[in-house]
Homo-oligomer: A and B are copies of this chain.
Amino acid sequence: MADHTADITDTGRESSARNRILDTATTLFYAEGVHTVGIDRIIAEAGVAKATFYKYFPAKDELVRAYVQNQSRLGRAAIDRIGKRPARAMILAIFDLVADAAAQPGYRGCPFLNAAAEYPDPGHPVRQAIGEHRSWKHDLLCSLLAADGNPDPETAADILTVAGDGLLIASHLDKPANLRQLIRETVLQIMGSSAGR
């Protein structure tokens, strides 16, 4: 569970203390929620003094925002790791990532959806960071759909986003046995059944 956060912030010039804080926070926030995990616990498990923490993150919300951005970076890295493929295969591969994530031991759903649920105010910086990731992903889908020759990529991207969020929820709350098949079925049904199976 801590493993996928072990390959750290690549900007190597950053403080190691800061990295330890962010990694610990990423693990704990994802596993137990943002409000449940306190600063004291994070600095204890990161092996860092409180003053050091507040040097790098002036307030807890700043850390939460960094956590969201870190998750965004990890998500983008996972997509980068797929490599180059035709547009339609690319979309299917991206959706397969949901099944990959759901198969991991500590899976607890989508970090962005979980975090958003804890911040009611849509104008809050944390919510904005979440929104940035969402619109990045939407744009990615949109351009892939356009490359696939979709006549209305905007609308199709909306629907695919809906499907993606729903699949993340289902993979977490309902844990369906045949998740991979459900994903394929959902995506193909949405993209038009002229699918390359």
Distance A159 CA – B109 CA, assembled complex (angstroms): 18
Task: Report chain B residues within 8 Å CB of A36.
Answer: 35, 118, 120
A66 to chain B, nearest CB (A): 20
Cβ-defined contact, A169 with B32, below 8 A = no
Provide the main secondary structure of the chain A interface: helix
A10 within 8 A of B: no
Copies per assembly = 2
Cβ-defined contact, B130 with A33, below 8 A = no
Interface centre among A118, A165, A176, A182 (most CB of B within 10 A): A165
Interface centre among A163, A164, A176 (most CB of B within 10 A): A163
Considering only residues 33-87 of chain A, those with a C-beta below 8 Å from chain B are 33, 35-36
Task: Report chain B residues within 8 Å CB of A162.
Answer: 163, 166-167, 169-170, 182, 186
Q: Can you pick out 14 interface pairs between chain A and chain B where the beta carbons lie within 8 Å of each other? A: A31-B120, A33-B120, A35-B35, A35-B36, A113-B117, A117-B118, A134-B174, A138-B174, A158-B176, A159-B185, A162-B166, A162-B182, A163-B186, A166-B167
Could you tell me which A residues sit within 8 Å of B by CB distance? 31-33, 35-36, 108-109, 113-114, 116-118, 120, 130-131, 134, 138, 155, 158-159, 161-167, 169-170, 173-174, 176, 182, 185-186, 189-190
